[in-house]
Amino acid sequence: MTIRITPGKAVWYVRRRELTLRLAFLLPGNQLAPAPETLNLEQARYVAEQIRLAAKRKRNLREFAEALVKFETTKAEYYDRMGEADFADELANEASLLAYRKRIGDTGLAWTWKALTAKFLEYQLPKLKAKYRKQYEHYLKLPEFDHVNGKLVSQVKLSDLERLRDAIHLNHAPSAVHRALTQSKTMMSWAWKYHATAAGLEEVEAEWWTRWSFEYKTKTRTHAPTIEEIARTIVLAEKFRHLADGEHETYPGTIGALWGVALTAQRTGGFLQLRSDRLFAPPKGERHLKGWKVANWTEEEMKGGRDGGRPHSLPLPPEALNILNAFHAESGGKSDWMFSGRDPKKHITQAALNLLMYRLQGRVYDHTVKHRPARKGKPGPKPRPKKERPNLFELYGIAPWTLHDVRRTMTTLLDDKRLGGAATAILGHKTDHDRVDERERMASVTEQHYNRSQRIGLKAEGMALWVKALLAAYAKELRKFRDIRSAQLAA
């Protein structure tokens, strides 16, 4: 606690780690009260102590302090402080509520679109996994919604929503328009079913907003790279770590993550959260898996779907472990994450891994160059030309593919070997009994229920086959690459 004395006034300050509070009663016009109404030492100590206690109760300290100072500076010299802090708490509560309602656009009569959005997000976000919440909120708070945010929900018409849809389409990708509309319609239906009076929809008899539509069709991905193309991509990523001047080389952790996705066919979001201490010995019933480790992900780390995420375990053969451990060591070997970048406290992100794939195809956005074409006759210096980056996929005969496509390639290979059920288990899908071979369904009850029916033995059989095929293709592609480079150097 400190005091600042200037001509005409003296003000106490309570300095906390997270904020500094000024103990002064503000007069109309946001002016400080004059010196006679300033707190004396005893009062300042009392207020400071009450603030300390209020902090433990998670109060809004600014509003609490202002209310308490107002009591202290407007009372007689001798008074009873019984209940004063409690009353200040109530005033702070009222001030917090008013500030909250003002912030979300709540008029106190009926909800505006902005207030509805805030109320719906309070209800919906806790139901989502933490990693999806920010993205979900983003689509309901696009800048284009400013057009309707101030309107009462009951006054919003289909014409307003169609103008909103067209504005979003003008500035965003079709998928973003689809997401924004779908979530907004869900929000309106929620308000109509559960908060009709507050939203001003009590007299609405039908969900007219379901007519608000956008013609959008998701593209079904059918491309599956060959196992040779996957192996060739890994070779290029290893040999061309420096892809452009002025850019950093590809981190070892990123190359290791590319290897890991190729070796396991896991979704990148969950796979990149693999920790070095989450590699366990196989269960006792799988003694033949000597040298293997079982990687484990929690249900929170796995993709959810309608039924939520499920814990996932995946056996890794020694050959795969040697590769992943080698890149972990090259990254410094000190990170808890198997795949880290510059900061060992953080794992490689999906964006970093996707960027590697883009860079190998020459698809990198150059932020130092204006991407809009210069108008003819425009005065002033012309923008620098875009940096040319080679498309290594094209140069080395690789059809464009994404990391998710590895899952289809693995499924095709294991289906051909009558191990479709192993592919389903490895990829973390629900078992489709119509596709599972009878031999696979004969697994023992003990095996089926190990670690929540993880079917480690069946997964190991599929993983051994896939890893062996990928490493054989990699060795072949590496020899071909060396032959090509030798020929180029000779020429």
Q: What does the alpha-carbon distance between residue 201 and residue 195 come to, in Å, rounded to a whole number?
A: 8
- With beta carbons less than 8 A apart as the criterion, state whether 432 and 411 touch: no
Domain that holds residue 282: 227-365+385-490
* Same domain? 431 vs 390: yes
Q: How far is CA 77 from CA 40, 64, 72, in A?
A: 11, 22, 9
pTM, two decimal places? 0.62
CB count, 10 Å around CB of 134? Answer: 10
pLDDT at res. 164? 95
Residue 439 confidence (pLDDT) above 50: no
Q: What does the alpha-carbon distance between residue 314 and residue 296 come to, in Å, rounded to a whole number?
A: 6
Sequence-ordered list of residues with C-beta below 8 angstroms from that of 446, at least 6 positions apart, any chain: 285
Strand blocks (E) in 188-284:
279-280
Top-confidence range, 27-31, 200-204, 469-473? 469-473
* Same domain? 24 vs 76: yes
Question: Which tops the pLDDT comparison, 452 or 222?
Answer: 222
For residues 444-452, average pLDDT: 37
Among the candidates 211, 244, 266, a domain finishes at: 211
pLDDT at res. 448? 34
- Structural domain includes residue 79: yes
Read off the CATH number of the domain in which 122 is found.
1.10.150
Among the candidates 186, 211, 236, a domain finishes at: 211
Read off the CATH number of the domain in which 342 is found.
1.10.443
* Same domain? 241 vs 187: no
Q: What does the alpha-carbon distance between residue 139 and residue 118 come to, in Å, rounded to a whole number?
A: 13
- Structural domain includes residue 377: no
pLDDT at res. 269? 87
Q: What does the alpha-carbon distance between residue 469 and residue 448 come to, in Å, rounded to a whole number?
A: 27
Give the 3-state DSSP-derived string for 297-318, with helices as H, strands as E and coil as C: ECCCCCCCCCCCCCCEEEEECH
Mean pLDDT of all residues in the chain?
81
- With beta carbons less than 8 A apart as the criterion, state whether 271 and 260 touch: yes
* Same domain? 341 vs 458: yes
Q: Over the stretch 45-91, which tens digit does the pLDDT of each residue have?
A: 888 888 888 888 777 788 778 777 777 766 544 345 545 566 556 55
* Same domain? 183 vs 44: no
- Structural domain includes residue 220: no
- Structural domain includes residue 378: no
* Same domain? 100 vs 117: no
- Structural domain includes residue 376: no
pLDDT at res. 444? 35
- Tell me which DSSP letter residue 368 carries: T
**Domain total of the chain:** 3
- Structural domain includes residue 222: no
- Structural domain includes residue 221: no
Residue 179 phi/psi, 5-degree rounding, is: -65, -45
* Same domain? 314 vs 195: no
Residue 81 token pair: 């402080």
Percent of the chain with pLDDT over 70: 77
Among the candidates 70, 104, 138, a domain finishes at: 104
Residue 23 token pair: 């103990």
Q: Over the stretch 232-259, which tens digit does the pLDDT of each residue have?
A: 999 999 999 987 766 788 999 999 999 9
* Same domain? 194 vs 238: no
Q: How far is CA 250 from CA 236, 324, 405, 482, in A?
A: 12, 16, 22, 20
Q: What does the alpha-carbon distance between residue 443 and residue 439 come to, in Å, rounded to a whole number?
A: 8
* Same domain? 157 vs 239: no
* Same domain? 447 vs 345: yes
CB count, 10 Å around CB of 252? Answer: 20
Q: Over the stretch 10-45, which tens digit does the pLDDT of each residue have?
A: 888 899 888 888 887 555 555 555 444 567 888 888
* Same domain? 7 vs 61: yes
The residue behind tokens 């190991």 is 460
Give the 3-state DSSP-derived string for 77-105, with helices as H, strands as E and coil as C: CCCCCCCHHHHHHHHHHHHHHHHHHHHHC
* Same domain? 192 vs 243: no
- Structural domain includes residue 370: no
Question: Which tops the pLDDT comparison, 384 or 147?
Answer: 147
Q: What does the alpha-carbon distance between residue 117 and residue 136 come to, in Å, rounded to a whole number?
A: 12
User: Shortest CA distance to 236 belongs to which of 477, 483, 487?
Assistant: 477
Residue 355 phi/psi, 5-degree rounding, is: -65, -35
Residue 200 confidence (pLDDT) above 60: yes
Residue 294 phi/psi, 5-degree rounding, is: -110, 115
